[in-house]
């Protein structure tokens, strides 16, 4: 893999929030995967670097990343029609079945 120079501030803005749903909980229990909302223009390499930067204290190593562009839904409010925005999610698999600790995630975000 080539060594890319990515701005440190850019990496801290890529991971927006963890994504939680029933399917994601099932993925976490069965395959030890975690899902995040990420910036729409983020690449897989940037997402990997951001995850490893945010969880460097736990020495998390990313094994695999799958990204999905989710289309915004069409919603109605009475007689008015609008759209939710499109967004991107990333499914992260770690090496050696490492688990990410989200207890310090709020402190990591505040450190931005």
In the chain, the domains with their CATH numbers are: 8-96 (3.30.70.330)
**Rounded to the nearest 5°, which phi and psi values hold at 50?**
-65, -45
Examine the pLDDT at 54 and tell me if it is beyond 80: yes
Q: What backbone torsions phi and psi does residue 68 show, to the nearest 5 degrees?
A: -135, 130
- pLDDT category of residue 86 using cuts at 50, 70 and 90: very high
More confident residue, 4 or 97: 97
pTM: 0.82
3-state class (DSSP) for residue 19: coil
State yes or no: pLDDT of 1 exceeds 90: no
pLDDT averaged over the chain? 87
- pLDDT mean over 31-54: 94
For residues 3 and 52, give the distance between their C-alpha atoms in angstroms, rounded to a whole number: 15
How far is 51 from 72, CA to CA, in rounded Å? 25
């Amino acid at each position: 893999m080539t060594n890319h120079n990515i701005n440190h501030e850019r990496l801290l803005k890529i991971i927006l929030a963890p994504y939680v749903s029933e399917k994601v909980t099932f993925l976490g229990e069965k395959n030890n995967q975690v899902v995040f909302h990420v910036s729409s223009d983020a690449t897989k390499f940037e997402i990997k670097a951001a995850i490893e930067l945010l969880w460097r204290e736990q020495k998390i190593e990313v094994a695999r990343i799958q990204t999905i562009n989710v289309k915004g839904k069409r919603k109605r409010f009475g007689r008015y029609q609008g759209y939710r925005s499109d967004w991107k999610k990333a499914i992260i698999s770690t090496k050696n079945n490492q688990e990410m600790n989200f207890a310090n995630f709020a402190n990591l975000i505040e450190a931005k």
